[in-house]
Amino acid sequence: MEELVTDVVAPEDLKRFEKKYNAELVKGPVSKETKFEYAWCLIRSKYANDIKKGVALLEELLHKSTKDDQRDFLFYLAVANYRLKEYERALKYIRILLRNEPGNKQAIELEKLINQALKKDGLVGMAIVGGIGLGVAGIAGLIGMAVAKSAKPQ
């Protein structure tokens, strides 16, 4: 599963699918297949802006799709949001998928990966907040000592 969320698209593949998408766009509405292929490439980009563009396309597909078509859109929306470190949103999408397909092994594995990232992110966040708290307490202590020294009668 780790491989799936870290896979990066080859630049030539991204260009090829972008070209196909734009060619269809010029002629009128883009087919669902072309839009999905391009979105799939975009979410595997190493650039956050590409991933966000892929998320927008997948969300558009999701809202216009039947329940049967939603599986892939939900799964790749979870992957894309994981890659953007938007773990809460990733979890939202994967849980919708699991509500529809509780036995989906790939979705279960991705949910575990997202939960691990959330825990890790939470611990890092707590460490940062704790470090800031210690820093503020240290500065307050130094100020307190300086005030106490200056208030001492001479």
Instruction: Specify the pLDDT at position 22.
Output: 97
User: 123-147: per-residue pLDDT in tens?
Assistant: 555 544 555 555 555 565 556 566 6
What is the sign of the dihedral through the CA atoms of 87, 88, 90 and 95?
A: positive
User: 72-121: per-residue pLDDT in tens?
Assistant: 999 999 999 999 999 999 999 999 999 999 999 999 999 999 999 988 87
Residue with tokens 């106490």: 148
User: 36-47: per-residue pLDDT in tens?
Assistant: 999 999 999 999
Residue with tokens 């939960």: 115
Give the Cβ contact number of residue 67 at 10 Å.
7
DSSP 128: H
d(CA 11, CA 9): 6
